[in-house]
A and B are shown apart, each in its own frame.
Chain A
Amino acid sequence: MRQRGPGAQPAGSASPYLYRVSPQAAFFAFVRKTLTIVEMEVRKLRHDVTELLTRAVQPALWLLVFGEVLASTRAIPSGNLSYEAFIAPGILAQSVLFIAIFYGIAIIWERDLGLAHKLLVTPTPRSALVLGKGLAAGIRGLTQGVIIYLLAALLGVSMNWDPWALLGVIALIVLGASLFATFSLIIASIVKTRERFMGHRPAPGYALLLCQQRHIPNFHNAGLVTGYRPDESLELRGRRVAGADASGRSEYLWPGSGLRGLDHCGVWAANAGGTVVPKCRDITETRKNTRKPGCHE
């Protein structure tokens, strides 16, 4: 904020608009503007509730349709938990990541519409704009979290209602969504156009794919990632998944270190989701312990 009046310190230029800004004032202006960007998003959500409902379709399908079907067929072992209870944290992590990544990418459309230019011409620090966008993605993620909690409760999934656990989930959702939204913003600011983005879309998709290990137990060992063969049909791969627990293959689809960071993000996000149903953490631990030597985390 510019200081005016007796407290103002002219910077020694002829311009009457040159004022020094104290670090404290700059910090408060930064916080205020970051929250303004978040508020803009909250207001948009308030006006368009249908968006929240349409975004709930994907997790609802997973939980209510696929979850029910896979649970009844018992095709996928989930220990002493119901399949719905097993996948609920993964669905939460996946949904939040989806929202965050695509929210970040939407900056390309905002740029095409002129809204991004208009924001960039305001005296708002670039960092406040980016942080505001990240936190706004967190708000969107929270709405998704509420929906998934409701659906999970509807299905009778046992959940931990301890206020500290809930606060932890909220913090993780906001943090995770902010991180992935800003990651997505970086990609968007590099590719700049929608056409180029289509070529880079698999990048955030990798992170989402890795989160799928929450949906399917022993994902690494099952062969979806290990021993991937591009010429293999989905059906064949599915069959291999069904009987691959004992296959013992340890080759990794991405053996180098290039994508290891994303892999970690995926595992982190899945574990973040695990906070919802603490029992699932046991399965995570079991799975970690049963992994073959040489596999990457």
Chain B
Amino acid sequence: MAEEAKPPVPPPPPEGEKKPAAEGRAAPASAEAAKPAAPAKPAGPVPVPWTSPLVEKYKGQYGSGLDAQTYLGQNYFAVDRSLIPDILRLLRDEEQFDYCVDITAVHYLQREKQFDVVWILYSFPRNERVRVKTQIADGASIPSSVSLWATANWLEREVYDMFGIQFDGHPDLKRILLPDGWKGHPLRKDYGILQQDNEWVQINLGIESGQ
């Protein structure tokens, strides 16, 4: 939060938690040299606003609930959770994003809304890809998109299996890769790499530990 207080020129990337380290190093060197050097130092690519007729249309419709960015030539929407059903439906029905490539999630343990849920969509007619992502809290659910893309069935089951995110309206939300009785969701950041459901292993495999 401290990096918000000092407002130097470069626009901080939304995910930029690492920023203070880079600036902290540059500042003690010399006070006046820092000014021209600072914008040059963080050389890496930065997300820039994504402008297109599609974005204009949705911005007008949904305003601040929707943010459109381009990073390394890839476009994405960061959307409020409440707008997700609308946005996904519009993208499929009106913008021809007829192919749901992937649905996945990312866990940020320190954040208040712990999960990013990401939809990767592709449009055959437009030959264009777009990502839609939203943030949800641990324990919160998200509407299922199985009615939009049948492929979402297994993809959502995998997200549920690995992260424990609930998809409302999914026809058969159960584990897919791990066994049904397994406890825990392995791709959460608080699930250790050596951690296992030892109880399950002992009962079902008859061995002391899977390690």
Do A and B assemble together?
no
